[in-house]
Amino acid sequence: MEVKIGVQHAPREIVLESGQSAEEVEHAVSEALSGKSPLLSLVDDHGRKVLVPADRLAYVEIGEPTARKVGFSAL
């Protein structure tokens, strides 16, 4: 699942591939925005944890699961 996170006052967005489902990511975002959690915490495919302060979130874009491409053919 591709997740893009916009952070206030930052020129670039954070992009990560996560093994979490869209529902899990949405739940984590809603908890952070409602004040239940001071941080948005997500884990990427490599096991790294990404922490963003909830009060600095600009937007979160949840994409479709990415299919792995195999081969060397031109698209």
What is the structure's pLDDT at 38? Answer: 94
Chain segment 12-35, per-residue pLDDT in tens: 999 999 989 999 999 999 999 999
Query: Does the pTM exceed 0.75?
Result: yes
Give all strands (DSSP E) within 8-48, no chain letters.
Answer: 14-17, 39-43
Q: How long is the chain?
A: 75
CB 25 within 8 A of CB 42: yes
Domains and CATH numbers, the chain: 2-62 (2.30.30)
